[in-house]
Amino acid sequence: MTKVSQTNSMGWVSALSTRASLEACVTEVAEQAQAKLGVPPDLGFVFISTAFASEFSRLLPLLEERLPGVVLVGCSGSGVIGMEQLDQASEIEADEPAISLTLASLPGVQIQPFFIETDELPDMDSSPDAWFEAIGVSPEVNPHFVLLADPFAGRINDLLQGLDYAYPKAVKVGGLASGGASGNSVGLFCKGELERDGVVGVALSGNIVLESIVAQGCRPIGQPYRVVESERNVVILVQEQVATEAGGLSSDPRDRPLSRGEAKQCTPLEVLQDLIQDLNDQDRELAQQNYLFVGVAQNEFKTQLEQGDFLIRNLLGVDPRVGAIAIGDRIRPGQRIQFHLRDARTSAEDLEMLLKRYQQGSHSHLPPIGALMFTCVGRGEGLYDEPDFDSSLFCRYLPGVQLGGFFCNGEIGPVGNNTFLHGYTSVFGIFRQP
Residues 360-372: tens digit of each pLDDT: 887 678 899 999 9
pLDDT of residue 244: 47
Which of 341, 358, 389 finishes a domain?
Answer: 341
| Higher pLDDT, residue 84 or 258 | 84
Tell me the sheet residues that pair with 373: 405, 428
Give pLDDT, residue 32: 96
| In a shared domain, residues 242 and 122 | no
Query: Among candidates 171, 281, 207, which has minimal Cα distance to 42?
Result: 207
Side-by-side strand order, sheet with 43-49? 11-17, 99-105, 43-49, 71-77, 188-190, 193-195
237 in the same domain as 102 = no
Same domain for 17 and 129, yes or no, is: yes
For 266-307, what is each residue's pLDDT tens digit? Answer: 999 999 999 999 999 999 998 888 889 999 999 888 888 887
- Structure confidence by residue, pLDDT tens digits, 383-400: 999 999 999 999 999 999
Q: How many domains does the chain have?
A: 2
Q: Of 2-6, 68-72, 78-82, 180-184, which range is least confident?
A: 180-184
Tell which of 294, 311, 341 closes a domain.
341
The lowest-confidence range among 65-74, 226-235, 241-250 is 241-250
pLDDT at 311 over 80: yes
Residue 377: band (very low, low, confident or very high) from pLDDT cuts 50, 70, 90: very high
Which domain, by its residues, includes 259?
A: 219-341
| Same domain, yes or no: 175 and 223 | no
Residue 254 has pLDDT above 70, yes or no: no
Q: What's the distance, Cα to Cα, between the start and end of the chain in Å?
A: 24
CA 47 to chain centre: 16
Both 46 and 138 in a single domain? Answer: yes
Do 173 and 253 lie in a common domain? no
pLDDT of 108-139, one tens digit each? 999 999 999 998 899 888 899 999 999 999 99
**Same domain, yes or no: 257 and 385:** no
Give the pLDDT confidence of 349-358 residue by residue, as tens digits.
999 999 999 9
Per-residue pLDDT, 183: 52
Model confidence at 247, in pLDDT bands (50, 70, 90)?
very low
Question: Which pLDDT band holds residue 196 (cuts at 50, 70, 90)?
Answer: confident
Residues 379 and 252 in one domain: no
Q: How confident is the model at residue 140 (pLDDT cuts 50, 70, 90)?
A: very high
Q: Specify whether 124 is located in the same domain as 205.
A: yes
Give percent of the chain above pLDDT 90: 78
Q: Are residues 67 and 140 in the same domain?
A: yes
Confidence of residue 3 (pLDDT cuts 50, 70, 90): low
Q: What is the pLDDT of residue 84?
A: 82
